[in-house]
Structure 1
Amino acid sequence: MTFSFDPAARYRMPVMFGPTVGPRQGPEGEVFDGSEAPFSVTTVRFLSDAARLEALLPPGFALNGAPVVTVEHTILHDLAWLAGRSYSMLGVKLPVVFTGAEETLRGALLTVLWENRAEPILSGREELGFNKVYCELPEPLVVGDSRTCRASWDGFEFFRLRLSGLRPATPPAPVASDGVLHYAYMPPMGREEPHEARTRVMLSPTPARASRVELYQTGAAEIAFAPARFDQMPTMFQIVNVLADLPVLEIRGASVLKARGKGDLRDQRMVRQKGQG
């Protein structure tokens, strides 16, 4: 008897061994409850150069408001789908409006998301269309009222964010948003097609239920991406160098958030682009 797919299950390569456990599917096909899952986010927002940010935007995207870059260092703790393990993320977002074939959406374009585990990278790239790549993300250094987040690849530190003078504050009201947008790309794999035909715009809708905030602090911030050479980051130097070249004209806010409750993104959907079936 040859291998056959279960139409009700989720798969990732290699599929021949059966359905794959991940954030949206347990060992028995069950759904994990993330309503009490703890997480922490260290965020900085800074004003940059509009022309530099516009150069990163794919067709259909435009800056929405001031050219403010948001950088988030996130830790997801005690994850049921990883049998209690945790992992960290470092993401860079831009404020955008996307005009598609059937709808116009406003939110954040997630340009890149580093993570320090292979499993969420594979799941997010293959199932959701996230621009995920790997790096080392050690635990933040917390000394007194300061918090320092770092990122490195094979020993080369390419990112550092330090918040100081952290103090309790009132969380800001949520900004109206349709969610987080992603510009996904799948290589041709032997098929002769234009690159544009291999792209997809994906939307992570804003969750209907907000996370439960347990701690919120604000403070001053210093942020830096270090320029990298090919020999230091052979597959990602081009990403880091673009980010390192963005001018930090003004810090527009820095915070530490600790909260509970994360969705599993099973409502992720594709948004049809103009001129694409």
Structure 2
Amino acid sequence: MFRPDPNKTYRMPPWFGGIDPETTYAYINDCISLDFSFTSDGKWLADFLPEGFELVRPEVSIAFNQLRIDNFLYGGSYNLISVNVPARFRGRQDQLEAQFPLIIWENNTIPILGGREVDGQPKIYADIQDLHFSENTYFTNASYQGNTFLRLQMNNPKPVSQQQLEQAKEAAKNANKFGYRYIPKVGGPGADLIQSTVYPMSMKLTGVWIGEGNFQWTLLPQVYRTQLTNDIDYYNIIKQLATLPVYETKPVSMSAGSLIMKSAESRVLK
């Protein structure tokens, strides 16, 4: 008879064996990131945040990450795009600030499952292109069922000063993200588990560049408005993000380095 070992970490299906928690760090040796940020409507953004969280400032970050030579993929790779807001958690014991991801699209199922089930990261699937380069312009896009819904572009990147690089290196040492672990009740409605979490990460930067750029949302065709049983409402997610007011955009930043995702140090906030 299978009985889970309480000292091991399991993934579904668990009866084929678990792993020791200390082996659950993810090491990404080659990470390239693009970050697009803008100010928006604070009330609108605050309405996304669950109980216990509050908005730090009315700012949205759209981040693309190209992750290569990943230990948990045996040297493989994947891409992700996340939409984040700066948030503060005020609990009985925990008082901390971090980025709160509203959505994370990834093009590989393995990191999606681990991040959703264990760490409460709002991950869903999308086709995400590798970062392309032509005539001093970097660009990529994300699509669903053959329909491009987001395009990202950066033009004329210039390296930051040494002082700015050192400041960025220090800030990247604590690239933590909040999470919200919602496990729906079998048969519904409601949830069997709701937990606020924090997911520690650390990035070692080797370079940072600043440039111009833009992001462009495209709504999915009307056919995707129909929500099927157990389906993820891609149409509504993209529509809400695409209609966020854009008051002021900041310069686009690009960074390179390595990343450690410390799943073994994730914890429930109290």
What is the TM-score normalised by the length of structure 1?
0.84
The letter for the 1-side match of 2:178 is L
The counterpart of 2:220, out of the listed 199, 205, 228, is 228
Cα distance in 1 for partners of 2:31, 2:38 equals 23
What is residue 118 of structure 1 aligned with on the other side? 109
Instruction: Tell which deviates more after alignment, 50-59 or 232-241.
Output: 232-241
Cα distance in 2 for partners of 1:175, 1:122 equals 25
Shift of 1:230: 5.0
Secondary structure of residue in 1 paired with 2:208: strand
Cα distance in 1 for partners of 2:98, 2:25 equals 27
User: 1:89 touches 1:114 (CA, 8 Å); kept in 2?
Assistant: yes
1:44-90 CA-to-partner distances (Å, cap 9, x unmatched) read: 1111111221221111222113x110111001111122111101111
Cα distance in 2 for partners of 1:232, 1:135 equals 15
Unaligned runs of 5+ in 2: none
Residue pairs, 1:17-166, within 5 angstroms: 17-19=16-18, 30=23, 34=27, 37-65=29-57, 67-166=58-157
Unaligned runs of 5+ in 1: 273-277
* Matched residue count: 258
Cα distance in 2 for partners of 1:109, 1:177 equals 14
Cα distance in 1 for partners of 2:204, 2:111 equals 23
Cα distance in 1 for partners of 2:268, 2:26 equals 24
Q: Go from structure 1 to structure 2 and tell me whether the alpha carbon gap of 1:258 and 1:111 turns closer, same or farther (over 3 Å shift).
A: same
**1:179 and 2:176 are equivalent in the alignment:** yes
What is residue 275 of structure 1 aligned with on the other side? none
Structure with bigger strand share is: 2
Alignment RMSD: 2.5
1:163-203 CA-to-partner distances (Å, cap 9, x unmatched) read: 111111133442897832112211012577x55x7321001
User: 2:29 touches 2:68 (CA, 8 Å); kept in 1?
Assistant: yes
**1:205 and 2:239 are equivalent in the alignment:** no
Secondary structure of residue in 2 paired with 1:122: helix
Shift of 1:248: 1.8
Cα distance in 1 for partners of 2:73, 2:178 equals 25
Cα distance in 2 for partners of 1:216, 1:177 equals 17
Structure with bigger helix share is: 2
Q: Go from structure 1 to structure 2 and tell me whether the alpha carbon gap of 1:230 and 1:148 turns closer, same or farther (over 3 Å shift).
A: same
The counterpart of 2:235, out of the listed 237, 254, 262, is 237
Q: Go from structure 1 to structure 2 and tell me whether the alpha carbon gap of 1:179 and 1:262 turns closer, same or farther (over 3 Å shift).
A: closer
User: 2:199 touches 2:262 (CA, 8 Å); kept in 1?
Assistant: no
Secondary structure of residue in 2 paired with 1:119: helix
The letter for the 1-side match of 2:139 is T
Runs of 4+ in 1 over 6 A off after TM superposition: 175-178
Secondary structure of residue in 1 paired with 2:43: helix
**1:14 and 2:6 are equivalent in the alignment:** no
1:103-122 CA-to-partner distances (Å, cap 9, x unmatched) read: 22212111111100111101
Identity across aligned pairs (percent)? Answer: 25
Secondary structure of residue in 1 paired with 2:113: helix
Cα distance in 2 for partners of 1:33, 1:101 equals 30
